[in-house]
Amino acid sequence: MKYFLSQKKLIAMLSAVVTILGIVSLASGRVWIGPEQWLSLDSLSQTLMWDLRLPRTLLGLMVGASLGLCGAALQGFTRNPLADPALLGISAMAALGAILSIYLGLSGLEPWVLAAAAITGAFVGIVLLILLSGLAHTITSFILVGVILQTLASAGVALTLSMSDNPWASDEIINWLLGSLQDRSWEDFLFALPGVLIGSACILLTRPALDALSLGEIGARALGVNLRNTQWLLALGVGLVSGSCVAATGEIGFVGFIVPHLLRPLVGNLPSKLLIPSAFAGGAMVLAADIAVRFSPGAQELKLGVAMTLIGAPFFLMLLLKMRRQSA
């Protein structure tokens, strides 16, 4: 008989991990500033701590938590273990929206334009994903639609890069594609915060419907769930969260894919019990990866999006092999 941790106990454990990683994140870097030094910082160390490391840590925590929440919600809604904003092309569509605003010079008009373009791209991506795959989709058809969106977004990015004659714009586009928390400021954090909070609230409102959908579409309808409303509420939530995160950090993938799989053996398959723990674990994963990239060899640190891909790709392969063995 399987033993599942209570949600409160798991959240308490994950909160402790996040707290420890947050302290390490504030202290670590090219210059180590330990907690014992925090009360007696000189002006340079204060600038480094409060203007660079603190917003970077909070942004990493927020982005990881929101992507973990999105992944758990998408997997619960679709009953599909491979669902994730990055794997399904949603993050790529958000990045395409941000990149187009950079290429067209719109991002320099107002600070909010880039975020609005990224959110619009993410929203378009998830709406297309839901409409093309339908509610009663198989794993193959759902992933195929995601691959199509990813391909379309990649083609749009490649076309934009090839047509760009502005070196600054090209560099900005490449940075968005790689994803990073480096040199992020309070402005980036505060710009992403409203979209993440509103989007996360929309996702959390779907918890009863997600639990009902574990019985299948017919069972959910018999329980009085309005699947269309749930569909669009989830689309709005994931679009806002993914777009806001991409606007602040660029593409950071695989968080929402990995985290629910790691936690599901601990809490069971009920989606409502997985959402909040996935948010905590997603924040912990991004903080840990961001700490690791700060110590990468070379003059420049490894991009966080690249590091997450190096972690996520082998995990994705192992999961596919496991699913193949189970179906054999």
What is residue 239's three-state secondary structure?
Answer: helix
Max CA distance (Å), the chain? 64
- 24 in a structural domain: no
Lowest mean pLDDT among 27-31, 121-125, 140-144, 314-318: 140-144
- 89 in a structural domain: yes
Cα 304 to Cα 127, 179, 260, distances in angstroms: 27, 6, 20
The parent domain of residue 131 ranges over: 58-327
How far from the centroid of its chain's Cα atoms is residue 217's Cα? 27
Six-digit token pair at 224?
């009085």
Eight-state DSSP code of residue 301:
P
Q: What angle do CA 66, 67, 71 make, to 5 degrees?
A: 120
Report how many domains make up the chain. Answer: 1
- 37 in a structural domain: no
Hey, CA dihedral for 56, 58, 60, 62, is it positive or negative? Answer: negative
Place of tokens 């993410």: 122
- 305 in a structural domain: yes
pLDDT band at 49 (very low <50, low <70, confident <90, very high): confident
Cα 198 to Cα 130, 192, 244, 254, distances in angstroms: 21, 10, 10, 22
Alpha-carbon distance 235 to 224, whole Å? 20
pLDDT band at 210 (very low <50, low <70, confident <90, very high): very high
Measured between its terminal Cα atoms, the distance across the chain in Å is 24
More confident residue, 140 or 252: 252
Q: What is the pLDDT of residues 228-246, one digit of tens each?
A: 888 888 888 888 898 889 8
**Mean pLDDT taken over the chain:** 85
- 45 in a structural domain: no
Place of tokens 């936690």: 263
Six-digit token pair at 302?
């490894």
pLDDT band at 142 (very low <50, low <70, confident <90, very high): low
- 283 in a structural domain: yes
pLDDT band at 139 (very low <50, low <70, confident <90, very high): low
Q: Is the CB of residue 137 less than 8 Å from the CB of residue 63?
A: no
- 304 in a structural domain: yes
**What is the mean pLDDT of the segment spanning 81-101?**
83
Place of tokens 């959240």: 11
- The domain that holds 265 is classified in CATH as 1.10.3470.10
- 31 in a structural domain: no
